[in-house]
Amino acid sequence: MELTFNTSGFPLQDLIVGASIYFPPLFKAVLLGFPVWLIAHRLLRDWMYAGDVWHPLLMDLSLFALAVCMAMMLIVAW
């Protein structure tokens, strides 16, 4: 018996990979935004932790959120 999995009729066929592993768009945005956040964190780390920013961890979290939002906008525009 041969088992075939055809995704041509599904509305989200581009998001199903392999045997039926689903990667939602937000997961893809996090994967795309994480390297952007790593670069921004490296560039701004000395400034954030030097005392110029009131709460460096909140600023770091907001940079990550902005990077993920930017990645989501790129995915939607693509």
Give residue-wise pLDDT tens across range 34-69.
Answer: 999 999 999 999 999 998 889 999 999 999 999 999
Share of the chain above pLDDT 70, in %: 73
Instruction: Identify which has the larger pLDDT, 40 or 18.
Output: 40
Residue 45: predicted pLDDT: 92
User: 3: helix, coil or strand?
Assistant: coil
**pLDDT at residue 14 greater than cutoff 70:** no
pTM for the whole structure:
0.68
Q: Is 72 exposed, middle or buried (0-12, 13-18, 19+ CB in 10 A)?
A: middle
Cβ neighbors of 54 (< 8 A, separation 6 or more) are none
For the chain, give every domain's residue range.
Answer: 24-77
Q: Is 55 exposed, middle or buried (0-12, 13-18, 19+ CB in 10 A)?
A: exposed
